[in-house]
Amino acid sequence: MSGINVKGKIGQFFCRHKNKEWFIRKSQFSSLRGERRLHICTECGKEVGSYFAEYEDTGYK
């Protein structure tokens, strides 16, 4: 994830997390069912939030 300035915990403490972007993190375990989406502050690199987005089932019904 380039473009993120990781300032460490002290920087994250003082950061107000105004600029956040969504990043997708795919793993071996989740790639078939969905993907993990991380809401990360681009100022300090802190993970503000995340959730698991499951792919829609396009298989048999």
Q: How far is the CB of 35 from Zn ion (least distance, A)?
A: 23
Strand partners, 40: 21, 47
Q: How far is the CB of 11 from Zn ion (least distance, A)?
A: 8
Q: Whose Cβ is closer to Zn ion: residue 17's or residue 39's?
A: 17
* Phi (first) and psi of residue 13, to 5 degrees: -65, -40
Q: Whose Cβ is closer to Zn ion: residue 19's or residue 31's?
A: 19
Contact set with Zn ion (CB under 5 A): 15, 17, 41, 43-44, 46
Helices (H) and strands (E) in the chain, counts: 1, 3
Provide the residue count of the chain.
61
